[in-house]
Amino acid sequence: MIEVKVPDIGDFSDVPVIEILVSPGEVVQAEDPLVALESDKATMEVPAPSAGRVVEVLVAIGETVSEGSPILKLEPEVAIDSTSTANLGDEKNVQDPKPEPQEEIQLEAEPSVSLATADEEVPTPRQAEAVAAKVVDVPGAILASPSVRRLARELDIDLASIGGTGAKGRVTKDDVKRAHLAHAPDGVTGGIPKVPPQDFAKYGPIETRPLSRLKRLSGPHLYRAWLNVPHVTHTDEADITELEAFRKELDTEARPEGYRVTLLSFLLLASAATLASFPEVNASLSPEEDALILKRYYNIGVAVDTNDGLVVPVIKNVDRKGIIELSRELSEISERMRDGKVAPSDIQGATFSISSLGGIGGTNFTPIVNAPQAAILGVVRANMRPVWTGEAFVPRMMLPLCLSYDHRIIDGADAARFTRRLAEILGDVRQLIL
């Protein structure tokens, strides 16, 4: 077992990890890039010291590392004989000698699995000599790692035409792939013209404020979801008068313990119970879009408002937890999200989502389905209002429910039944223990 460590990266220390390029179980070749680091002055990739299989990744995006820091564990494999590749390169150079541009010598530091054809130049032995490829951050330079630049060349994408969503505007592989999709003849966004730019300064004073990193990352995802999912929103309301009285009792007991019992804990548990009765709402379309993938677990994403934008941590196995346990977990994870301590596992694996604006206000809204999920529940502020019982008007606490769903998966009638059942459970919390 090889513990791969950060090699000599010069005078840099405490450099953040900005991209993890491999995953456990993946087979890599010598010099394949493993992780990308970015200091104030350079972007660099740490290559594999030898061929092998990735056993465990020891770092997460956002963590800082220095020379000697372990980044992953590698199980060695018999290295692929590079003789034939080198000979092929020699033969190619004899048939079609072509000097490499100096820029490529600086930027290409690792061989990788490529989409290039046999007519293109193969990696030369000089690439095995580099330990980490560096891209100096100079004014006006395009920030992109060597593997991203290679992918852009293979897909014929001009990096200068892409808005990077990575740290400090760095162009990522996902940015290149999105640009390729947008320019493809059959691409989802290929036929949609962009909004033409305007010179707003002609009409008055302006201020340009950069988007936060979270918004740069979430924006393309929301745009893709809106384009691909036929959205419909169904609204209903739940009578939570008794639930709210019970919640206040629990919250009073919880405050001395350092956590709060909010309506969100009940929404989580009631949603999981309702999803069990409507499995298609907890499903996703297969990649071929000809079948449903029904998930027999209930992981629910919860939108958390932070200074940089919305983060959606995932509460796992909601159906196996009680109100107190959910309340404690919500308090803990919300605090970590607001402090920026987000691990990849915190935001992955959701089967359904909840977006609650109850602490702010509103009467209803249309949340965007977090594809490939099938639906998302939006809730706004509950209000006390008169409700007719058949004999008289009585004051009741009514909670608006807004269910946005993928109409390819869920019919309108099923959406209405799901929302009505959810309202019934919220109206009688005793059903949560049945």
Residue-level pLDDT at 141: 62
Q: Is the pLDDT higher at 214 or at 255? A: 255
* Residue 361 DSSP symbol: -
Across-strand partners of 283? Answer: 294
Confidence of residue 46 (pLDDT cuts 50, 70, 90): confident
Residue-level pLDDT at 16: 87
Q: Is the pLDDT higher at 138 or at 345? A: 345
> At residue 126, does pLDDT exceed 80?
no
Q: Is the pLDDT higher at 339 or at 119? A: 339
* Residue 190 DSSP symbol: T
Report domain extents, the chain. Answer: 2-154, 158-190+198-228, 229-433
Please name the fold of domain 229-433. Chloramphenicol Acetyltransferase (3.30.559)
> At residue 116, does pLDDT exceed 70?
no
Strand (E) positions, 77-169? 133-136
- Per residue in 277-315, pLDDT tens? 999 999 999 988 899 999 999 999 998 887 777 788 999
> At residue 82, does pLDDT exceed 60?
no
Confidence of residue 123 (pLDDT cuts 50, 70, 90): very low
Return the closest-CA partner of residue 6 out of 71, 94, 58, 87.
71
> How many CB atoms are located within 10 Å of the residue 64 CB?
12
**Per the residue annotation, which of 180, 183, 221, 407 is the catalytic one?**
407
Return the closest-CA partner of residue 241 out of 423, 52, 22.
423
Residue-level pLDDT at 401: 97
Across-strand partners of 304? Answer: 311
The type of residue at 323 is I
Residue-level pLDDT at 78: 55
> At residue 107, does pLDDT exceed 80?
no
- Which helix (H) or strand (E) segment is 75 a member of? strand 70-76
- Per residue in 131-152, pLDDT tens? 344 444 444 567 777 778 878 8
Residue-level pLDDT at 18: 84
Q: Extract the tokens encoding 294.
A: 């029904």
Residue range 77-100: average pLDDT? 45
> At residue 14, does pLDDT exceed 90?
no
- Per residue in 216-251, pLDDT tens? 878 888 888 998 999 999 999 999 999 999 999 999
Q: Is 295 helix (H, G, I), strand (E, B) or coil?
A: coil
229-433 matches 2-154 in CATH topology: no
Residue-level pLDDT at 166: 74
Q: Burial level of 318, CB count in 10 A (0-12/13-18/19+)?
A: buried
To which residue do tokens 């990352």 refer?
217
> At residue 9, does pLDDT exceed 80?
no
What distance, in Å, lies between the first and last C-alpha atoms of the chain? 51
Please name the fold of domain 2-154. OB fold (Dihydrolipoamide Acetyltransferase, E2P) (2.40.50)
Q: What percent of the chain clears pLDDT 90, i.e. is strictly above it?
A: 45
Q: Is 221 marked active-site? A: no
- Per residue in 361-411, pLDDT tens? 899 999 999 999 999 999 999 999 999 989 999 999 999 999 999 999 999
Q: How far is CA 134 from CA 9, 14, 20, 70, 288, in A?
A: 9, 16, 16, 20, 40
Average pLDDT, the chain: 81
- Per residue in 270-285, pLDDT tens? 999 999 999 999 999 9
> At residue 11, does pLDDT exceed 90?
no
Residue-level pLDDT at 105: 29
